[in-house]
């Protein structure tokens, strides 16, 4: 199992962004895949997950409405996107494969998102 | 809604054993599985325990997980400590519709 995330991003407040996580080495449509945020010097926060097989998507209430999680099974890639970034979105975002709905068993290397005017 | 509380930091010597606790604030610790993630400095997290007691392949058997309903807590025990075990450890569980993480414990091996 391998999860490879897109590279670091530098954006301004109000800009849009879409980061990616490509899964390989397993059946992409049969496992949940999702995102966790880690702000500088802080702990882990669950953003949400998607089941690529039927696009069932679950969000943390803290992130619902501010981000969108999607997946393209044809290229075994999951996405996390923002339509309008805030400075408070600056963090490292890790993707993970769900061992089940309730945990990750494999992790990506992380994508650093910097938001600054 | 519940919270998971971990000690901020623990320290122990190489070769010794250390236990990190994760206490659930309400509801039974046995109601939902608990996972443990290790994050070494500057690295991404890895899973060391899932479903309370299960070890992913590749994780040494020095790592073990347990739950204790009397204290409503989960524990991660690392025996035969090595300097490479120095890391932040996060517990995590599931609350009806969302994941809950503990605040993390910094393990120092000195």
Inter-chain touch B44–A109, beta carbons under 8 Å: yes
| Regions of chain B where pLDDT drops below 50 | none
Dump pLDDT digits (tens) for A78-112: 999 999 999 999 999 999 999 888 899 999 999 99
Residue identified by tokens 């300097």 is B83
CB contact under 8 A, A103 and B33: yes
Q: Are A97 and A76 in contact (CB under 8 A)?
A: no
Q: Which residues of B touch A61 (CB under 8 A)?
A: 98
- For residue B97, the tally of other CB atoms under 10 A from its CB is 9
pLDDT at A22 > cutoff 90:
yes
pLDDT of residue B96: 85
> Hey, are the CB atoms on B90 and A45 less than 8 Å from each other?
no
* Residue keyed to tokens 């496992």: A31
Please report the residues numbered 42 through 71 in chain A whose beta carbons come closer than 8 angstroms to any beta carbon of chain B. 43-46, 58, 60-61
Give the pLDDT band of residue A55 (cuts 50, 70, 90).
very high
Q: Which residues contact A30 (CB under 8 A, 6 or more apart)?
A: A53
Q: How far is CA A110 from CA A47, A55, B70, in A?
A: 14, 23, 37
**Residue pLDDT, tens place only, A27-53:** 999 999 999 999 999 999 999 999 999
């Amino acid at each position: 199992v391998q999860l490879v995330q897109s590279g670091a991003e530098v954006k301004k407040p109000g800009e849009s962004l879409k980061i990616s996580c490509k899964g390989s080495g397993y059946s992409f449509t049969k496992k949940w895949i999702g995102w966790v945020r880690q702000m500088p010097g802080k702990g882990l926060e669950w953003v949400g997950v998607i089941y690529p097989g039927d696009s069932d998507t679950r969000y943390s209430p803290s992130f619902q409405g501010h981000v969108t999680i999607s997946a393209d099974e044809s290229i075994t890639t999951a996405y996390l996107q923002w339509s309008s970034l805030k400075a408070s979105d600056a963090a490292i975002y890790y993707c993970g494969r769900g061992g089940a709905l309730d945990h990750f068993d494999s992790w990506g290397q992380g994508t650093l998102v910097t938001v600054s005017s | 809604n519940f919270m998971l509380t971990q000690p901020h930091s623990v320290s122990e010597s190489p070769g010794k054993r250390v236990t990190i606790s994760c206490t659930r604030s309400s509801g039974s610790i046995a109601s939902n599985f608990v996972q443990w993630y290790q994050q070494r400095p500057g690295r991404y997290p890895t899973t060391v325990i899932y479903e309370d007691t299960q070890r992913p392949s590749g994780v040494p058997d020095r790592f073990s997980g347990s739950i204790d309903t009397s204290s409503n807590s989960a524990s991660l025990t690392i025996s035969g400590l090595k300097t490479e075990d120095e890391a932040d450890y996060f517990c995590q569980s599931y609350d009806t519709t969302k994941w809950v993480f503990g605040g993390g414990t910094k393990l120092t091996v000195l």
